[in-house]
Amino acid sequence: MVSPARHNEGQRQRVRAAWLFLAPMLIVLALVALWPLLRTFYFSFTNASLVDLHGREGIGLGNYLAPVDGVWTGLFADPQWWRALWNTLVFALASVFLETVLGVLFALVLNVTFRGRSLMRAALLVPWAIPTVVSAKMWSWMLNDQFGIVNDGLMRLRMISEPVAWLADPTLSLWAIILVDVWKTTPFVALLVLAALQMLPKDCYDAAKVDGIPAWKVFFHVTLPLIRPALAVAVIFRFLDAMRMFDLAYVMTGSSDATMTVSVFARRQLVDFQDVGYGSAASTLLFLVIGLLTLLYLRAMRPDLSGARR
Amino acid sequence: MIRRHLRRSAFFVLVAGLFAWLVFPLYYAFVTSLRSGSAIFRVSWLPDGADFSNYVRVFTEQPFGRNLLNSFLVATAVVAISLLLGVTAAFALGRVKFRGRGTLLVSILAVSMFPQVAVLSGLFEVIRTLRLYDNLIGLVLAYTLFTLPFTVWVLTTFMRDLPQEIEEAAILDGATPWQLVTRVFLPLLGPALVTTGLLAFIVAWNEFLFALTFTLSDRQRTVPVAIALISGGSQHELPWGNIMAACVVVTVPLIVLVLIFQRRLVAGLTAGAVKG
Amino acid sequence: MAEVKLEGVTKSFGRTKVIEGLDLEIADGELVVFVGPSGCGKSTLLRMIAGLEDTTAGEIYIGGRRVTDEAPARRGVSMVFQSYALYPHMKVYKNIAFGLTLAKTAKETIDERVRRIARLLQIADLLDRYPRELSGGQRQRVAIARAIVREPKVFLFDEPLSNLDAALRAQTRLEIARLHRDLKATSIYVTHDQVEAMTLADRMVVLNRGKVEQVGPPGELYHRPQTLFVAGFLGSPRMNFLKVDVADAVATSAAGAVPVDVKTFTGPATLGIRPEDLHLAQGGTSPTIRGEATLVEDLGETRIVHVQAADGTDLAFHHREGEPPRPGTTVGLVVTSNRLHLFDADGLRVPNT
């Protein structure tokens, strides 16, 4: 696109100014993002400890995988790491899937004109605005095994016969957390999809109505393909967010193995065990896993994130 | 006729169900926060009485007022810095053609999406080197990691939508790029600034991981950390009344803000994603 | 003093050339209109003169000074935009004064100039309003006032009337003409509307695909179009074109034979006849072109009769008096023979000999 065009003085001044305007932001981002990221990579090859970051030695791949006295050690040999990665993937895939389905449902409902629609739309923003820690606490209380209203309700409806320990039972706790995440972030998906729905051409639907095509067919053959770009964007945003989940697991179940995500695992190594090297290695691996999955996704879906369509 | 009636009723049952799903947790937190003592441990679906002692205790048993102030100060400072740096950067990215613009935009978006834990140890080192550990300023710095890219991104989409001819008129009137931003675009971006600022405020107000890791003392904590760490006599006896009261205190002002600026927030939230 | 000169001006986006090696001289005080179909490069050319677009090759001179590399504001030009482009957050006064304020002109000077020009444009009582409180026509005047106040050497107008409704457009057109007569400033005006172009221009520049087709006073372009493109572009209904073969000063087609004023030319050509130069053959005159009437459009002052000529070409002509032919009937037509246009196979005018 850039031809070796001559720029007049005004254009040159603009480009100079543009870089000047970008500089403060770039400096701050270098300080809080790029540099720390590189340091984390670097720490992952050392045995740095939180108490004494300077007294570190390079240990090569020791934090990842290395034989020590004939036994493999490092993250790749750490079952807790694999458990954390598995939990993170299950959490991310399940919550994003449920949020997408529910989000589309919410958006379809809100796209219908009915009395009380604006109230409903306002309600949609409630879970979104509530701090994650607060939602974690609210739901912990509702899911409390002895005094929780969820157990109370389900027992009244005779769906369960005795209280369920939602957060303590290792087979249920991850799903309880997924439930809370779905509650909190479905509105985000719904809002994105709703915005896309409202930009759809009306005449398409009028034509379908005139032709007498059943509603579900219209949805799958007209609506879904048309909102696919918006959906693809919502899914990637949500997925990236879910892969780094920390607050819900930390607040609702502490560092239980059953719900430990990679973020919880890494922070525990870093802060609680003061093992900066090991924790950094876990962070680095998470970064790489997310990067890889994102690339695969972008390849497969090609959502238009550039926004540079002018 | 009957079929239509049935369909209408089914739709309203669906709507009512969705509505309850969205607001029930907040409602129930509120109900719980108004009960204390052993009453809390009897499940009640409806409010019964108005006992505000939980609210009093939240503020007396820990420096919760101070925590609220901290959260407010940090979030406000983060918003101010993000908008200040964001507007000029958004002008450069949204309205000036230069080599590498697309790459820069995508990198900025990537920064806002990568896992915070990936920078945790590096950022810890930066904060300690700058002697900002257990200091609100350290948090402000850390929070720009996600508010700044996001602000730049959203403002860039708004900036791009401003009419080209107004900019050209100003250029012919002799405006320098700085004058263009401050005297022509900034006033036009007013509504977008409110939206973006509010979104950044909410993000900063809600942040947990950095606040938990980079502060230590009760008096430097922000609200999410304070709530997460409210504990009673033993691990198994959490003071749920206090916690729910704290939750309501933190949430209500946010909900009010969000409802006031509803339309603009939605526009800002979807600006980055859908318009692209 | 403020003449504009373009030398080999070229604009390309990547490999597409939008303007190709264009030369043009505009005299001081002249009002020149760039006209052409959309995408012909007229707006791009205007924006290059303003400095809003870079010039890929060639040079631009304003008042004898080379400005190709200069910033827009330093070229001594001002521009009136299609969308008016008023600053929405400033009142009319500040809108007009903005450029002077940026140039750090003394307050009293600004005030004196803004008020004088507001009086000239009859917007003195609007100075305290915001643009959103004005009508389209009022906004247009403010935009013009803002352009004038900086006392530029050259005025640039980019389709300034296309956002106005028809009545207002005619009125504003007259005002721009009056203003130009009073100010005598060099002006370049871009439009796709040929009425605007014909009525305002001292000279017209017809552009097509980034190249100049013809330059000249409106009358000359209308009566002596040098290319087939100009012939077809100006005039409404557009000029009728017949595919003909010319030999011995007669242009022959299946529709008939028309004597033409060229003695030396032979070969295939296009014969152009303006709708006002084509008439029904009446009384004893023998028709030169035959066809079948297809449609009559009654515009009140005139009727436009559409005819399908015997060779299949659609022709149109004005019919002002008497009964128009009924659709479906065969008609015979004659031409005003001294106003015919003949174009060779390359679309260039064949001169009369």
Q: Is A310 exposed, middle or buried (0-12, 13-18, 19+ CB in 10 A)?
A: exposed
Residue A249 forms contact with B (CB below 8 Å): no
CA distance B223 to chain C (A): 39
Residue C346: phi and psi, rounded to 5, are: -85, 5
**Residue pLDDT, tens place only, A45-97:** 998 888 877 778 888 888 898 888 888 888 898 999 999 999 999 999 999 99
Q: Do A125 and B28 touch (CB under 8 A)?
A: no
Q: Do C14 and A3 touch (CB under 8 A)?
A: yes
Q: For residue C12, what is the nearest residue in chain A, using CA coordinates? A: A3
- Which tokens belong to B101? 């613009």
CA distance B157 to chain A (A): 7
Residues A200 and A274 in one domain: yes
CA distance B99 to chain C (A): 14
Q: What is the domain range of residue B245?
A: 53-274
> Residues C175-200: what's their mean pLDDT?
90
Q: Which of A258-262, B77-81, C231-235, C265-269 has the highest mean pLDDT?
A: B77-81
Position A160 pLDDT exceeds 60: yes
Which residue among A68, A99, A115 closes a domain? A68
| HEC per residue, A215-230 | HHHHHHHHHHHHHHHH
Q: How many domains does chain A have?
A: 2
Q: For residue A10, what is the nearest residue in chain C, using CA coordinates? A: C71
Most A CBs within 10 A among B54, B68, B143, B274, hence the mutation to make, goes to: B274
> Residues C203-208: what's their mean pLDDT?
94
CB-CB contact of A276 with A49 (8 Å):
yes
% of chain A exceeding 70 in pLDDT: 95
% of chain B exceeding 90 in pLDDT: 51
Residues A29 and A168 in one domain: no
Angle between helix B53-61 and B64-95 (nearest 10): 80
- Which tokens belong to A121? 């739309």
Residues A77 and A24 in one domain: no
What ranges do the domains of chain C cover? Answer: 4-231, 238-343
Question: What pLDDT does B273 receive?
Answer: 53
Of A33-37, B112-116, C269-273, the range with the lowest mean pLDDT is: B112-116
Position C226 pLDDT exceeds 50: yes
- Written as one string, the DSSP assignment of C282-345 is -TTPPPSEEEEEEEEEE-SS-EEEEEEETTS-EEEEEE-SSPPPPTTSEEEEEE-GGG-EEE-T
Task: Please list every residue in chain A whose beta carbon sits closer than 8 Å to the beta carbon of residue C71.
Answer: 8-10, 13
- Asked, for residue A1, whether it belongs to a domain, the answer is no
Q: Do C54 and A1 touch (CB under 8 A)?
A: no
> Residues C149-166: what's their mean pLDDT?
89
How many interchain CB pairs under 8 A, A with B? 301
Of C78, C89, C98, which is closest to B188 when you measure between CB atoms? C89
Residues ≥6 apart with Cβ < 8 Å to B73: B136
**Residue pLDDT, tens place only, B193-250:** 988 999 899 999 999 999 999 998 888 999 999 999 887 655 567 888 889 999 999 9
- Asked, for residue A39, whether it belongs to a domain, the answer is yes
Residues A124-159 as b/e (b if ≥16 CB within 10 A, e otherwise) read bbbbbbbbbbbbbbbbbbbbbeebbbbbbeeeeeee
Question: What pLDDT does C109 receive?
Answer: 92
Q: Do A8 and C56 touch (CB under 8 A)?
A: no
**Residue pLDDT, tens place only, B15-31:** 999 999 999 999 999 99
**Residue pLDDT, tens place only, B140-198:** 999 999 899 989 988 998 898 899 999 999 999 999 999 999 999 999 998 889 889 99
Residue B131: phi and psi, rounded to 5, are: 55, 45
Residues A64 and A77 in one domain: no
Residues A61 and A118 in one domain: no
Domain with residue B207: its CATH number is 1.10.3720.10
Residues A105 and A187 in one domain: yes
Question: What pLDDT does C23 receive?
Answer: 93
How many interchain CB pairs under 8 A, A with C? 34
Most C CBs within 10 A among B172, B186, B188, B189, hence the mutation to make, goes to: B172
CA distance A68 to chain B (A): 25
Residues A52 and A122 in one domain: no
Residue B96 forms contact with A (CB below 8 Å): yes
Question: What pLDDT does C1 receive?
Answer: 58
Residues C205, C207: Cα–Cα separation, whole Å: 6
Q: Which residue from B219, B89, B118 is spatially nearest to A19, judged by alpha carbons?
A: B89
CB-CB contact of C24 with C6 (8 Å):
yes
Q: How many domains does chain B have?
A: 1
- β pairing state of A71-73 and A66-68: antiparallel
Residue A5 forms contact with C (CB below 8 Å): yes
Position A4 pLDDT exceeds 60: no
Q: Terminus-to-terminus CA distance in chain B, angstroms?
A: 44
CB-CB contact of B36 with B243 (8 Å):
no
Residue A124 forms contact with B (CB below 8 Å): yes
> Residues C262-274: what's their mean pLDDT?
91
Residues A141 and A279 in one domain: yes
- C4-231 folds as Rossmann fold (3.40.50)
Position C46 pLDDT exceeds 50: yes
Q: What is the domain range of residue A85?
A: 72-301
* Mean of pLDDT over chain A: 87
Residue A37 forms contact with B (CB below 8 Å): yes
pLDDT band, very low/low/confident/very high, at B276 (cuts 50, 70, 90): very low
Residues A127 and A179 in one domain: yes
> Residues B4-14: what's their mean pLDDT?
86
Q: Do C72 and A3 touch (CB under 8 A)?
A: no
Residues B174, C102: Cα–Cα separation, whole Å: 7
Question: What pLDDT does B264 receive?
Answer: 80
- Asked, for residue B136, whether it belongs to a domain, the answer is yes
At which residue do the structure tokens 């939206």 appear? B195
Residues A102 and A53 in one domain: no
Q: Which residue from C22, C24, C27, C26 is spatially nearest to C11, judged by alpha carbons?
A: C22
**Residue pLDDT, tens place only, A12-35:** 888 899 999 999 999 999 999 999
Residue B170 forms contact with A (CB below 8 Å): no
CB-CB contact of C333 with C280 (8 Å):
yes
State the complex-level ipTM: 0.89
| β-pair partners for C296 | C305
Question: What is the residue type of A242?
Answer: A
CB contacts under 8 A, B 178-237 vs A, are 178, 181, 202, 205-206, 208-209, 212-213, 223-225, 227-228
Q: Do A22 and B25 touch (CB under 8 A)?
A: no
Residue C82 forms contact with B (CB below 8 Å): yes
Q: Do C68 and A8 touch (CB under 8 A)?
A: yes
Which CATH number does the domain C238-343 belong to among 3.30.540.10, 2.120.10.30, 2.40.50.140, 1.10.520.10? 2.40.50.140
- Asked, for residue A48, whether it belongs to a domain, the answer is yes
Position B8 pLDDT exceeds 70: yes
Residues B81, C30: Cα–Cα separation, whole Å: 53
Q: Do C68 and A5 touch (CB under 8 A)?
A: no
Residues ≥6 apart with Cβ < 8 Å to C77: B172, C49, C50, C51, C62, C152, C153, C154, C155, C156
Grouping H, G, I as helix, E, B as strand and the rest as coil, residue A112 is coil
Residues ≥6 apart with Cβ < 8 Å to C27: C3, C186
